[in-house]
Structure 1
């Protein structure tokens, strides 16, 4: 069932699995503010039955990043160009960017497990969108790069935190400051990719992982994701208490107890 198909984004739902597809293959799925608004809408339209969301890009590339038209004087139809935006007050720039970031935030919801199926280029905003997902299945032709610093900018679409969490501060700084490509073998070795497969097997590998994620009871997966994501920020001394509380909720739910 197709729930959304606009501005380079298509959302389809099949029972407990939703698929969000970037549909600008002729532009290597380059991103725009309109696409970001459509991604926000896709998150809002998800039925409560959905447990896993797969993110993919049509064509040879997952997403080559921001559409460079944003940096032309004319910008996009009906949109202020980034050149114009840069002349405005700081508060307004931050307000606009906050709206863009919404397209990258909902993938982290505890009630969902999100999987990016990544092939070809995942550059800048494309890299950050892949980092928004919990898991990444990558084709062996994948090329991640954070090119913002090379353009005199910074990664601002919520990608810095997950990148440091995945690969550590020193490697994250080196990847961002140099703008170099991280290819499949390295991506798997340093933790950016959960698995790397031949490009022809990307869809099947993603389906296999999705099936495995659906095998456990939903509430147990939700509690486990919350425990693990919280552990990144929570001091170790607080983690045992969080585990006890989560397990107590699960036991009460399983036996129908509780006061």
Structure 2
């Protein structure tokens, strides 16, 4: 998959993010291995733009990264008084109004929200370090396939901050409140075996098999009818918020739509 991504003409290629599309599969690649794919507001805007640039034909989106690390998290330059060129520093943001600060964080979060859209299934292919914002970006995807050298860590609390890039909701949903609290509050590493055992990863494979494993998973997802996958995803995504009876009702309504569609009723 790595060579395939580079052989395709990019739909987007800027600020450490490259988007390519091959039929029903899109690949979003983090392209700054020299900095271990450290993240910045510019990268987040590029990720948001990638989501908005997806053609309607895309059913599966693969998120991957060049180099030995998926993403080492937020670029530490953000914590300097100078910040990034052309960007307000985090110190400047902290001095702004509550509304301005909230709006800025909400803009950053947009880069992490579109991966769970109902019309796509997203897969994160994760190797090496996935720390802080890198961990949260992997958590933003529906599914995660990890290399056996993966090292997840949520370091925000250790820095006096909190995870604020949409990672807390999926983390608790995957591993439960107690383990999520322990992972975040201690900032410790979660390695491949634990990630697979606790549900953080759907599959852990040797590093040289990562692209092939993700490709096989993408192909399996594409083998099912698109509308059935969309309906199933919606059912599962909403299951935790619904009561048992509400979920039964949602299943009936969804199945009725599928049966009518398959029978051509209402056309």
- Shorter-chain TM-score range: over 0.9
CA RMSD of aligned residues (A): 0.8
Question: Does 2:18 align with 1:2?
Answer: no
2:56 paired residue among 48, 67, 82: 48
2:197 paired residue among 189, 197, 204: 189
Question: Does 2:135 align with 1:164?
Answer: no
The equivalent of 1:69 in structure 2 is 77
Measure the CA separation in 2 of the matches of 1:92 and 1:104.
20
The equivalent of 2:113 in structure 1 is 105
The equivalent of 1:216 in structure 2 is 224
The equivalent of 2:185 in structure 1 is 177
Cα offset, 1:17, TM superposition: 0.1
Cα offset, 1:258, TM superposition: 3.1
1:28-39 equivalent positions in 2, closer than 5 A: 28-39=36-47
Question: Which deviations, in whole Å up to 9, do the C-alpha atoms of 1:46-72 show, x marking residues without a partner?
Answer: 000000000001100000000000111
The equivalent of 2:3 in structure 1 is none
Structure 1: any 5+ residue segments left out of the alignment? none
2:257 paired residue among 224, 249, 252: 249
| Segments ≥4 residues shifted beyond 2 Å | none
Measure the CA separation in 2 of the matches of 1:137 and 1:233.
26
Q: Which stretch shifts more, 233-242 or 96-105?
A: 233-242
Measure the CA separation in 2 of the matches of 1:204 and 1:87.
47
Measure the CA separation in 2 of the matches of 1:105 and 1:204.
26
Measure the CA separation in 1 of the matches of 2:244 and 2:81.
50
Measure the CA separation in 1 of the matches of 2:106 and 2:243.
28
Question: Which deviations, in whole Å up to 9, do the C-alpha atoms of 1:152-192 show, x marking residues without a partner?
Answer: 00000000000000000000000000000000000000000
The TM-score with structure 1 as length reference comes to 0.99
What secondary structure does 1:214 align onto?
Answer: helix
The TM-score with structure 2 as length reference comes to 0.96
Question: Does 2:134 align with 1:126?
Answer: yes
The equivalent of 1:225 in structure 2 is 233
The equivalent of 1:92 in structure 2 is 100
Structure 2: any 5+ residue segments left out of the alignment? 1-8
The equivalent of 1:137 in structure 2 is 145
